[in-house]
A and B are shown apart, each in its own frame.
Chain A
Amino acid sequence: MSALLLEAKGVAKHFGGVKALHDVSLSIRKGEIYGLIGPNGAGKTTFFNVLTGLYHPDGGEIVFAGEKLKASAPHEAAARGIARTFQNIRLFANMTARENVMVGRHVRTSAGVMGAVLCDRRTRAEEAAIHRRAEELLYYVGVADRADDLAKHLSYGDQRRLEIARALATDPQLLALDEPAAGMNSTETEGLRRLVEGIRADGITVLLIEHDVKLVMGLCDRVAVLDYGQKISEDVPSIVQKDPRVIEAYLGGAVA
C-alpha cells in the first residue's frame, strides 16, 4: 500500500437543516485515481468545497500530505497542492485560453508590483516561464489551437479541458475534478479518460466526481459512495458495484 495523501476525518457540513456532509471520513492514497460518486444532492460537490477551502466545515478535519489543512483558506489549499475544476465550469470568460492557464501559475510565481513595473531580469524570466508552461499545458490537454480565443468562445468540451489545464498549472499533488465528463459525447469522454490516465501517470493523484458509472468504474482504483451526506461504501470498483446499499441508493438500474 502506498502512502496516504489525503485523510478526511469526520467532516461535516450543514446548510440550515440540510446535512450536506455528515461525518464523512475517507482516505486517498498517493498516485491513485479515487472516485466519489452518489446520487444528486449527496454532498459530493460540498466535499470538494470543504476540501478546497471554499466552505468552512462544521466538524472534522482534513489532513493533506501529513499536515492539517487550514479551513476556509482556498488560496492556501492551492498552495499546498490541491487543484480543482468546477461542476458548472468557472473559467475567466473574458480572458483568452492562454491567459486562463497563466493565471493558474500565480500561486507558483512571485512577481509583484515592483517587478512588473521595472521588468527586471528575474521578472522577465518568470514571465517567459509562465508563457512556456501555459503553452505546454494547452497542448497537453489538447486546446493549443484555441490559445488566443476568449475562454467563453470555446466549445463545451474544450472549456472542460481548459479548466483542467488551468488546474494543472498550479502544480498540484491532488487534482479534484467535479464531473469533468458532464455534457461530453462518447468520443470526448474517451479523450478525457486518456487525459486523466496521463495525469495520473505523471504522478498526480486524482479525485474524481462523476456520474458516468462506466467511466468511473473503468478508471478509478477505488471509489467512495456518498448518499445523503454519508459515506455508505468505499472500496475497489468491483466490490462497490456489488454492494447492496450502493445498488439501492445509486446504481439501481445501471448495473441490474
Chain B
Amino acid sequence: MTLFESLRHNRRAAIGAMLFLGILLAVLPFTVGSMMGNSWLRILDFALLYIMLALGLNIVVGFAGLLDLGYIAFYAVGAYFYALLASPHFGLHLPVWLIIPGGAMLAGLFGIILGAPTLRLRGDYLAIVTLGFGEIVRIFMNNLNAPINITNGPQGISGIDPINMGGVTLAKPIEFVGITIPSLHAYYYLFLGLALLIVFVSIRLEDSRIGRAWVAIREDEIAAKACGINTRNIKLLAFAMGASFGGVAGGLFAGFQGFVSPESFSLMESVMVLCMVVLGGMGNIPGVILGGILLTLLPEAFRHGAGPVQMALFGKILLDPEALRMLAFGLALIVVMLYRPAGLWPSSTRRREFKGEGA
C-alpha cells in the first residue's frame, strides 16, 4: 500500500507499473487458457463482470453510504433488456452498441425509480426496503409470462445473440493479423475494456464535486444539506450511476451466456456483490476491485480443488465441495471482519480512521 502511494508521486515508476500491468492483463487470458483451461477463462470473464458490479455498488454503498441489498436487480434489468432485444424470443436482433448503452440507461432509470421511495430511509430500514425491491424485480421476471409472455417466466430466455461487434461475432474464434483469438479471450478483452472504463469513471467521480457531495451525505446528511447540497438529487444520482454500471454488466452477461433466467438474480447475488465491496474496502476503488477478484476466484478454486484434495488425502470425498465452499466463504468473512474491519484494502482515510480510534 505504501508502494501504491509512492507510485502516485513518482511519475516514471507509475508509468512503468502501468506498462507492466498492461502487459500482464493483455497476456493473462493466454496464460490462464493454456495452463488452466477454458473453465478458468470463463471464471476470469466473470470476475470482470463482478468487478463492474462491485464498482457500481461501491458508488451507492461506499461513496454515498446508502446500504442497498437489492443491487442485483439492475444487473437483471441490463441482462433482460439485452435478452429481449437480441434473441429469437421476440425475433428482435438489435445491435450491441444500442443495447448495452440502452441497458445502462434503463438500469439507471430503474435506479431512480427504486431509489426515490427510499430517500428518507437510512441504515437498516433502507437495507430492508432495497432488499424487497430487488426481490420484486426478480419475481416480476419470474411471472411476466402470462397473460402476455414477456420474460418467458422461470424457463428464462435462451438462444440470445452473442455479442457482435461490427459484423464480427465474439462467439467464434477471431482471426486478427495472423493470430487467432478464441471466443473466451475475445470476451475477456471486451469485458476488460469496459471494466477499465468503469474504473476510470469511478476514479474521476470520486475526486469531483459530485463525489465529495456523496461522501458528505454519507458522513452527515444534515450538514450536507446545510452546505447547500440537494441531498435528494445527489442521492438519486448515486442510485442511477451505480445502477447503470450494473446494467452494462447485465447486458454483457446476457450476450456472454446466451441464456438468462430469474435464478441468476437472487438475493444471494446481491449479498455476494455487497461482500466484494465491504471485504475489499468500502469506498476505495482498488480495494473494491480486489474484493471482486478474490470473491470470484477463491470460491471457484475451492470448488475445483476441494474434490481432488480430498480424494488424494482420504481416497474418497467426505464433504461435498459445494458445502465446503460456503463454509470457507463464511469463515473468511468472519476472519476479515474481525482482523480487518475496514476491508482488505481500505482507503487511506478509512485506514487512518480505524487507527485513529485506537490512538
Contact = CB atoms under 8 A, between A and B. Distances in A.
Contacts of A194: none
B204 interface: yes
B210 A74 contact: no
Q: In the complex, which range does the number of interface residues on chain B fall in?
A: 20 to 34
Given A107-B227, A166-B227, A93 B220 contact: yes
Interface stretch (A15-23, A56-64, A82-90): A82-90
Contacts, number: 113
A111 B207 CA distance: 12
Given A74-B226, A90-B220, A92-B216, A130 B209 contact: yes
A132 interface: no
Contacts of B228: 74-75, 78-79, 104, 106-108, 170
Q: Is the interface of B mostly helix, strand, loop or mixed?
A: helix
B210 A111 contact: yes
Contacts of A112: 210
A143 B227 CA distance: 19
Q: Is the interface of A mostly helix, strand, loop or mixed?
A: helix
Interface of B: 200-201, 204-205, 208-213, 215-216, 219-220, 222-231, 237, 241, 349-350, 352-353, 356
A33 interface: no
Given A92-B220, A107-B227, A116 B356 contact: no
B229 A103 contact: yes
Contacts of B349: 94-96, 150
Contact of B223 (A90, A109, A126): A90
Contacts of A103: 212-213, 216, 224, 227, 229
A106 B205 CA distance: 14
Given A94-B353, A95-B215, A109 B220 contact: no
Contacts of B211: 116
A152 B356 contact: yes
Interface of A: 52-54, 74-75, 78-79, 83-84, 86, 90-96, 99, 102-109, 111-113, 115-117, 119, 123, 126-127, 130, 150, 152-153, 166-167, 169-170
